[in-house]
Amino acid sequence: MSETLETLPSTDRKVPQHVAIIMDGNGRWARKQGLPRIEGHRRGAESVKRALNAARDFGVRYLTLYAFSVENWNRPKEEVDGLMKLLERFLVDQHKELMKRKIRLRVVGRYRELPVRIQELLQRAEADTSDFKDQTLALALNYGSRTEVVDAMQAIARAAQAGTLDPEKLDYETLRSYLYTKDMPDPDLVIRTSGEYRLSNFLMLQAAYAEIYTTSVFWPEFTEAHFKAALDDYAARERRYGKTAEQLQNA
């Protein structure tokens, strides 16, 4: 039997600092239950609360959730409108909880293209929680890794044109400072639910060295126990970053 986070000695526990989740399977879960797709999204919002609780309980400091991609605008208007209403309700309901538990909210993505009311709620939550340091919830909204790179490169080009950045000295750390996630560490672990094996345009630069964990569980059924199973799997892996096992042992 493999060791779990509960049985490992505290000095041997490898808890990821940053976990990112591709929350997939809401629609398929709803179809399986004979329910409308929006009900799957509503149940998925409950799983967000469970994941946030699990992150806190297991010591994960940063949790990034892929909530709405740039491609999701292509879904039927009725579904998109329903998702926006759910997001608005979630932000209203969770504001006091974030304040009470001292959780910082961060938004990554082109959120200024979202409905005005949601922009206002996001800006308020970001401002009210900006001083909290212990735990961060990042919502990837209207997010796409390719559009993030485009936005970063446009900003870099403007800086170079203004003479505040030397293109010849551009390296990844400089590029990273122009990404949406510039004030967060790169994810250590990416979890994808519903049995798919794609990154789907999610944190593709940041997740270059992340461990990837997939589960067949649909997102509305994802519980604290499933979160823990992902952390257990992560704890059993050896992260080499291009080095050999011998190099790591001698480090």
Give the count of domains, the chain.
1
The verdict on residue 8 lying in a domain is no
| pLDDT tens for each residue of 58-107 | 999 999 999 999 999 999 999 999 999 999 999 999 999 999 999 999 99
Query: What is the average per-residue pLDDT within 230-236?
Result: 96
14: tokens are 């490898």
Question: Which of the two residues, 242 and 202, has the higher pLDDT score?
Answer: 202
Asked if pLDDT for residue 9 goes beyond 90, the answer is: no
The verdict on residue 3 lying in a domain is no
| pLDDT tens for each residue of 149-189 | 999 999 999 999 999 999 999 999 999 999 999 999 999 99
Positions marked active-site: 24, 72
Q: What percent of the chain has pLDDT over 90?
A: 88
Question: Do residues 16 and 234 lie in contact, with contact meaning Cβ atoms separated by under 8 Å?
Answer: yes
pLDDT of residue 13: 58
Asked if pLDDT for residue 191 goes beyond 90, the answer is: yes
Asked if pLDDT for residue 251 goes beyond 60, the answer is: no
The verdict on residue 60 lying in a domain is yes
pLDDT of residue 3: 40
Q: What is the pLDDT of the chain when averaged over all its residues?
A: 91
Show the CA angle centred on residue 193, arms to residues 175 and 218, nearest 5°: 145
Give the residue from 73, 187, 99 showing the smallest Cα distance to 138.
Answer: 187
Structural domain span for residue 230: 14-142+188-236
Q: Beta 18-22 vs 211-214: how paired, if at all? A: unpaired
pLDDT of residue 238: 83
pLDDT of residue 105: 98
The verdict on residue 209 lying in a domain is yes
Query: What's the whole-model pTM score?
Result: 0.89
CATH number of the domain bearing residue 96: 3.40.1180.10
Lateral strand order in the sheet of 62-69: 103-108, 135-143, 62-69, 18-22, 189-192, 211-214
The verdict on residue 200 lying in a domain is yes
User: How far apart are alpha carbons 67 and 58 in whole angstroms?
Assistant: 22
pLDDT of residue 247: 56
The verdict on residue 6 lying in a domain is no
The verdict on residue 123 lying in a domain is yes
Confidence of residue 4 (pLDDT cuts 50, 70, 90): very low
User: How far apart are alpha carbons 122 and 125 in whole angstroms?
Assistant: 5
The verdict on residue 46 lying in a domain is yes
